[in-house]
Structure 1
Amino acid sequence: MRIAIIGTRGIPNYYGGFEQCAEYLALGLVKRGFEVIVYNSHHHPYQEKEWNGVKLVHCYDPEDKIGTAGQFIYDLNCILDVRKQNCDIILQLGYTSSSVWGWLLPKNVVVTTNMDGLEWKRTKYSEKVKKFLRYAESLGVKYSDHLISDSIGIQDYLKDKYKKDSTFIAYGATLFEQPDVKILQEYKLAPYAYNMLIARLEPENSIEVILDGVAMANLAIPFLVVGKHETTFGNYLKEKFAAHSQIQFIGGIYNIGILNSLRHYSKIYFHGHTVGGTNPSLLEAMASSSLICANDNPFNKYILEDDAIYFQNAADVKKHLLKVVYDQDIYQTMLSNNRDKITRIYDWELIVDQYANHFAAVKGQLNR
């Protein structure tokens, strides 16, 4: 079976969640005998036409020149090319800048779309942008033969909103078993003597609430903020918390080994995401044996259940920072249970098998 994956900046992953998903899926599907094409931006750091048995097609992407509008042009170029590839199935990861071109997707190829999270709920967007995102979401549904939800919450939403069934396939992770304590030396850290978060610095990721709690607790140990901070909101946060030297904005880190080692050796790992389905960084924290303090919402609770501590406001964050003793039995049980969930439910090998089974089930089923 020939599968094309569109909707990402490409592989190997240098960017984020869907790129990592594309990487693991492509490698896993090739290993299972599929022929796989992944679409890459023309300025992706890896410029070869093949990577570990995966065919790569580089398409012109002007995002670096014209900003967000460039994403739409890149997705158009990918769709125009995939029309020529004679695929059995196109897997579309997300819909934000591609669904407006959905009418151009080849009519004789099955299109299955991972619908991502509820993008229009993000607080950073204006009402006009949110209106467009709702429209783009509806087009993503309209121009897909089949839908994939990476959380039960998204699956329920699609059924309620569009009366459409979707296949539930969670995001994946790989159990992290080789933490490197030497990495801490680069950041002048000691094991279990710092707290951290990893996220895009956006309001809906509860960054400000978490840092308000850190400031209120006023502990001397470092608090790492990992994520690109040369943004309007990032600059606002850096200015607001400039007097709190324990809060360290260390920028984006895209090496998964470094990230997982930092997560593993943190005392508390904060996960403030409030929008979306199965968040990749949450699963990676579970796989890294991180003690997780998560925003108290249904998406996070569905995954973590009772194996995390939760916050709703800055006072909760302060309370946990002052109260938690990392090596208490109750917290160690949480770590063990979360690692077990990765092995039983979220391991990438299981997720790739679920995608492979989905493709086998929908091959030839055109519903548009």
Structure 2
Amino acid sequence: MPDETKPILRILGTRGVPAAYGGFETFAEQLSLFLVARGWRVVVYCQNDVPEITRPLSVETWRGIELVQIQTAASGPKATLDFDWKAVRHAGAHEGLCLVLGYNSGLFLPWLRLRGKTVLTNMDGMEWKRAKWGPAVKAWFWINEWIAAWSSHRLIADHPAIADHLATRRPRRHISTIAYGANEVPPQPEAPVRALGLEPGGYLVSIARIEPDNSIHTIVEAFSRRPRGAKLMVLGHLQPGLPYHDRLRKAASEEVVFPGPIYEAGTVAALRYHARAYVHGHTVGGTNPSLVESLAAGNACLCQDNVFNRWTAGAAGTYFTDQDGCDAAITRLLADDTLVVRARTAARERAAAAFRLDDILSAYEEEFAAFTGYPARGETLGVLT
């Protein structure tokens, strides 16, 4: 039976844990394990896509975290809305502070307020600005951002520029800025890298959704302008027949490798650690978790030049604004050992100073404690692995 004396946190807005999809799921897993070890009861809502609903809702436990499994037989955005609505209704009927990750279904948050719940929302990036969306979808996200901003007791921004944006929606006293975090990546074995046909230090790596907002076309086309004597690994799903993905395949030289998505944590850590540089083309968003993880791995970073990436990577980054600049930056990173060594040192220093995972998770706990009346618990009750 649940311990009635423990503070309760309910996490909504992700596909659930164990993490297998993206940054929000990874963060939800990290935060949940951290809080469970510090004496919290943590409930995470998990989306379970099925061809036919046979058990609409079930509860199980994983590493001390309560997982509320919600089946949905829909697909695409409809499935997400169906899942989010069911999760909100369940959370509204049970005790606990609610942490919502993202505002894509902000329309449902007033329900939680009507049920007397305290709601904190990580507002993520400015989804409505992404070029990939059409006018109707952009309008949906824009409206949901406003609803989430005014339905939440606290807005959490993961980057100072996101906090500045949210201040146009809600007074700053309702906004906290907490970045993402990552543990330092220790030396990694070379075997996973060599198994992919790569030479340690002889490749660049991109780990991102393959879409225009992440400048994948700029990176691939710039890299493919000339022989590099190195490889470019572009991790992510390529869908045959999708025009943007077909364009990338056509533009790529023989030195560009598309291995598909790789979710095995050890392989991803090895790919980061042994890369000559990590390539980050994100144009919209805040403190991107993948960029933070690369800093923690000690990567020199090749970044699209914008306020989000500049603040996050700092001196660890070499920056580009267009294809010509990307071409020149790639050439420099592959040729200049001094630059790479200096950037790697700066990466680890930046990660240690601003993005230590325990510091980030403790900052979240302090936010929760302010609303629950329970003090932050101090030392953990167990070891996180």
Task: Specify if TM > 0.5.
Answer: yes
Which has the larger displacement, 219-228 or 204-213?
219-228
Distance (whole Å) between structure 2 residues aligned to residue 326 and residue 177 of structure 1? 25
Q: How far is the alpha carbon of 1:48 from its aligned partner? A: 7.3
Partner of 1:17: 23
Residue 236 (1) aligns with residue 243 (2): no
Supply the AA of the counterpart residue of 1:246.
E
Q: Distance in 2 between matches of 1:326 and 1:49?
A: 53
* Residue 134 of structure 2: aligned partner: 126
Aligned to 2:146: 138
Unaligned 5+ residue runs, structure 1? none
The residue that corresponds to 1:92 in the other structure is 100
Q: 1:253 deviation in Å?
A: 1.0
* Selected match of 2:294 from 276, 285, 297: 285
1:162 and 2:170 aligned: yes
Give the TM-score normalised by the residue count of structure 2: 0.88
The number of aligned residues is 358
**Displacement after TM superposition at 1:327 (Å):** 7.0
State the alpha-carbon separation in 1 of the partners of residues 247 and 204 from structure 2.
Answer: 17
Contact 1:202-1:233 within 8 A present in 2 as well: no
Q: Can you list the C-alpha shifts for 1:119-174, whole angstroms capped at 9, x where unaligned?
A: 01111000111111100101111211111000000101111243343111111111
Q: Report the Cα offset of residue 34 of structure 1.
A: 1.0
Cα distance in 2 for partners of 1:325, 1:60 equals 48
- Asked if 1:58 is matched to 2:69, the reply is yes
Look up the equivalent residue of 1:14 and give its one-letter code.
Answer: A
Q: Which moved more, 1:292-301 or 1:251-260?
A: 251-260
Which residue identity lines up with residue 329 of structure 1 in the other structure? T
Q: Secondary structure at the match of 1:76?
A: helix
What SS is found at the alignment partner of 2:39?
Answer: coil
1:111 matched residue in structure 2 = 119
Shift of 1:3: 0.4
In structure 2, C-alpha distance between the alignment counterparts of 1:16 and 1:68, rounded to whole Å: 16
Change (3 A) 1:203 1:272: same
The whole-number CA distance in structure 2 between the counterparts of 1:129 and 1:43 is 23
Distance 2:213 2:342 in 1: 29
- What displacement does 1:264 show? 1.4
Q: Secondary structure at the match of 2:68?
A: strand
Trace 1:287-306 onto structure 2 (pairs within 5 A). 287-306=296-315
Which has the larger displacement, 250-259 or 98-107? 98-107
Residue in 1 that maps onto 2:200: 191
1:319 CA drift (Å): 1.3
Extract unaligned runs of 5+ from structure 2. 1-6, 51-57, 374-385
**After the TM superposition, which segments of 4 or more aligned residues of structure 1 sit over 6 Å from their partners?**
none
User: Of the candidates 322, 345, 349, which is equivalent to residue 331 of structure 2?
Assistant: 322
Q: Which residue of 2 aligns with 1:102?
A: 109
Output the aligned Cα RMSD.
2.0
Distance 2:343 2:186 in 1: 17
What is the percent sequence identity of the aligned residues? 31
Q: Deviations over 1:254-298 (max 9, x none)?
A: 122211211111112210001111101000111112111000000
**CA–CA distance in 2 between the matches of 1:345 and 1:322?**
29
SS across alignment from 2:66: strand
* DSSP-derived class of the 1:117 partner: coil
Verify: 1:218 aligned to 2:227, yes or no: yes
1:143 maps to a residue whose letter is: S
Kept in 2: contact 1:271–1:293 (CA 8 A):
yes
Once residues 31 and 166 of structure 1 are traced to their aligned partners in structure 2, the CA distance between those partners, rounded to angstroms, is 27
C-alpha distance in structure 1 between counterparts of 2:363 and 2:243, whole Å: 38
State the secondary structure of the residue aligned to 1:189.
coil
2:315 is paired with a residue whose SS is coil
| Distance in 1 of aligned mates of 2:227 and 2:137 | 38
How much does 1:37 deviate?
0.5
Q: State the partner residue of 1:78.
A: 87
Aligned to 1:37: 43
From 341, 344, 365, the equivalent of 1:335 is 344
On the 8 A contact 2:333/2:339 being kept in 1, the answer is no
User: TM-score, structure 1 length as denominator?
Assistant: 0.92
Supply the AA of the counterpart residue of 2:11.
I
Structure 1 residue 323: Cα displacement: 2.4
Q: Counterpart of 2:382?
A: none
Provide the secondary structure at the position in 1 that maps to 2:168. Answer: helix
Measured in 1, the distance between the counterparts of 2:260 and 2:293 equals: 18
CA pair 267-326 structure 1, distance change in 2 beyond 3 A: farther
